[in-house]
Amino acid sequence: MVQKTFRVSAVIVWLSSLSLGILTTVPKIAEKHPNGFEAVTSALITTSFTLFVWYFNIYSLPKFTKEHSSSGFSYPLLFRSIAIGIVLMFLMVGAQKLAIPTLDFGPVVLMFEVRGIMINLIFYMLLHLLYQTHRNQQVILELERSKADNLGAQYELLKQQVNPHFLFNSLSTLKSMVELEDKNSVDFILKLSDFYRFTLENRKLDLISLSEEIEILDAYMYLLKARFEEGIELEYRVPENVYRTWIPPFTLQLLVENCIKHNVVSLDKPLHIAIYEENGLLIVENPLQLKKNPEHSTEVGLDNINRRYFHLLNQKVQIENDQEYFRVKLPLIHENRNH
């Protein structure tokens, strides 16, 4: 989402500046012998100075606040604004002195300098409050967008998990096993039950441990082996400590399903899938033995995985295709972020 630029309405800036300028003429007008010209020049000085404070801080505040984001309050900007304001006010009162030679310069410049410092302090605090409110609104909008995207990703994931083609193929395999009185039919039913139990238990979680994810994948591979027999092989080369990292649920299952979808899987040409760790990445790799008539790729699975990693880590998965092997590289997650 594109961040909105911080803006303050020009109407607010000009009305507040003019109003403050007019208010400063009240004491002059209330004098026994008011000097109209002096009142007007005082109003112009105050109005011009307030406009300067507004626009100087509006254009400087985002940069300075970003550099001091821990506190959210930029003292360097405030002090710089006050220092520049002191010099500017001195020059403006000096110009007024040239226009009105009878002006008592010392007391008048002191009064204007104090007024300028007060204007700087008050308007900086007001502007800081407006800017922090703007930033908070941006954060809330970003959180709402992320929440909406995450719900969409979960929906797409759920559609992938309960894949009707996979369920149909599994039931067809089970039917054949029962008809042949295969002694492994009961184990197949139990593994199919386990897989869908995992689906129901983990579908709402952002992350599960890699060891749990591999348990899901093992159940899935058992079902595939019943269908493809020795036509598919899965090899783990994962260090023990990596099993304690975290992963979005069903990531590996979706990647294995993606391998089967696009590659030849047969006894004559077995598909060998490897899962291993390298340079802080979990890699799923398979040789390219593409089907002659591949299924149409919607890329929903890879996009789903990509979006979930981006939401969790602000990183994307890496996809490599060197014409010999296809690899998907997943960043390792060392912290449980379900809460």
Low-confidence stretches of the chain (pLDDT beneath 50):
1-2, 70, 159, 162
Instruction: State residue 1's pLDDT score.
Output: 46
Where does CATH 3.30.565.10 sit in the chain? Answer: 164-331
Residue type, 101: P
pTM over 0.85: no
Closest CA to 56 of 22, 85, 18, 92: 85
In the CATH scheme, what architecture does the domain 164-331 have? 2-Layer Sandwich (3.30)
Instruction: State residue 272's pLDDT score.
Output: 96
pLDDT in tens, 25-45: 877 776 666 777 888 888 898
Distance CA 202, CA 152 (A): 16
Instruction: State residue 140's pLDDT score.
Output: 84
CA dihedral of 211, 213, 218, 219, whole degrees rounded to 10 = 130
Distance CA 218, CA 63 (A): 52
Instruction: State residue 199's pLDDT score.
Output: 73
CB 119 within 8 A of CB 49: yes
